[in-house]
Amino acid sequence: MSVAIVTGASAGIGAAIARALSVEGFDLALGARGLDRLEALASELREAGGRAQAFALDVSDSASIYAFYASVGEALGPVDVLVNNAGVCRPGLFAEGDDADLEYEVATNFLGPARLSRRVVRELRARNAPGDVVFISSENAVHPRTYQLGYTATKMGLEGLASVLRMELEGSGIRSTVVRPGPTESEFGFGWDPVLLEEILVSWSHWGVQRHMDILPPSSVARAVVQVVTAPRGTHYDLVSVMPERSADS
């Protein structure tokens, strides 16, 4: 049975990915900071006949990543698939933001996935085993958004990391893939100041990056991840862009 890690698995896109991979028969290691919701999801998956365990993980903290990876190895054995899904955005104009927010976005969206991916790739190479490393990016990587400088820059960086990794791993059987979602229903914007949000939407409309308000169900992104990691050996998805279709009345 293949072992898969999903980071940020307790909500939104990560939870949908975990549900979809469970249906495919993966033995799942679910990671996030809040253990209660993770445990609830792990129970739900086990009750449905799957195999899933919850592990505390803060991807912005290297010590937490190393402890998480060691615990997963002890409990489930070597990892075959890593889905780097956890990601955050601290919205605001660059000139008005603070360094701590930027550092937090870099640590969570770029450094954390890089650290965890390095561990997984090293172990796969040592075992001479095939595997998948998936990076959940964002439409921002190709259509930058105002008020999201740190988020945009870290997703661009993440796509750069995925590309170089793909080149370095060519021929090894270890695949590096970007899944790049557009706007998706989740808890992502929860807690954003509504006044700031209105300002943001005006700006995005001005720059043509929010052309309509339709959003994807997270299951659509999960479907793309399943397609990537279950692709037959010899097939490699470099990049899957998943966008909401505009509805007739929007």
Ligand X SMILES: NC(=O)c1ccc[n+]([C@@H]2O[C@H](COP(=O)([O-])OP(=O)(O)OC[C@H]3O[C@@H](n4cnc5c(N)ncnc54)[C@H](OP(=O)(O)O)[C@@H]3O)[C@@H](O)[C@H]2O)c1
Residue 183 found at the interface with ligand X (CB under 6 A) = yes
- Closest CB to ligand X among 88 and 114? 88
Q: Which one-letter amino acid corresponds to residue 85?
A: N
- Closest CB to ligand X among 157 and 181? 181
- 191-210: which residues touch ligand X (CB under 6 A)? none
Backbone dihedral region for residue 130 (phi beyond 0: left; psi -120 to 50: alpha; all else: beta): beta
Residue 115 found at the interface with ligand X (CB under 6 A) = no
- 33-52: which residues touch ligand X (CB under 6 A)? 33-34
- Give the nearest distance from C-beta 240 to ligand X in angstroms: 12
Burial of 33 (0-12, 13-18, 19+ CB in 10 A): middle
Residue 144 found at the interface with ligand X (CB under 6 A) = no
- Give the nearest distance from C-beta 195 to ligand X in angstroms: 20
Residue 243 found at the interface with ligand X (CB under 6 A) = no
Task: Tally Cβ neighbours within 10 Å of residue 147.
Answer: 22
Residue 14 found at the interface with ligand X (CB under 6 A) = yes
Burial of 100 (0-12, 13-18, 19+ CB in 10 A): exposed
State both tokens at 212. Answer: 């309509």
List 2, 22, 117, 138, residue binding ligand X (CB under 6 A): 138
- Closest CB to ligand X among 170 and 250? 250
Residue 113 found at the interface with ligand X (CB under 6 A) = no
Q: Is the dihedral of CA 114, 116, 120, 123 positive or negative?
A: positive
Single out the catalytic residue among 104, 147, 151, 237: 151
- Closest CB to ligand X among 7 and 117? 7
Give me the torsion for CA of 178, 120, 160, 86, rounded to 10°: 60
Q: Count of alpha carbons within 13 Å of 66, Cβ hemisphere only?
A: 3
Sites of contact with ligand X (CB under 6 A): 7-14, 31-34, 57-60, 85-88, 108, 136, 138-139, 181, 183-184, 186-188
Catalytic residue set:
151
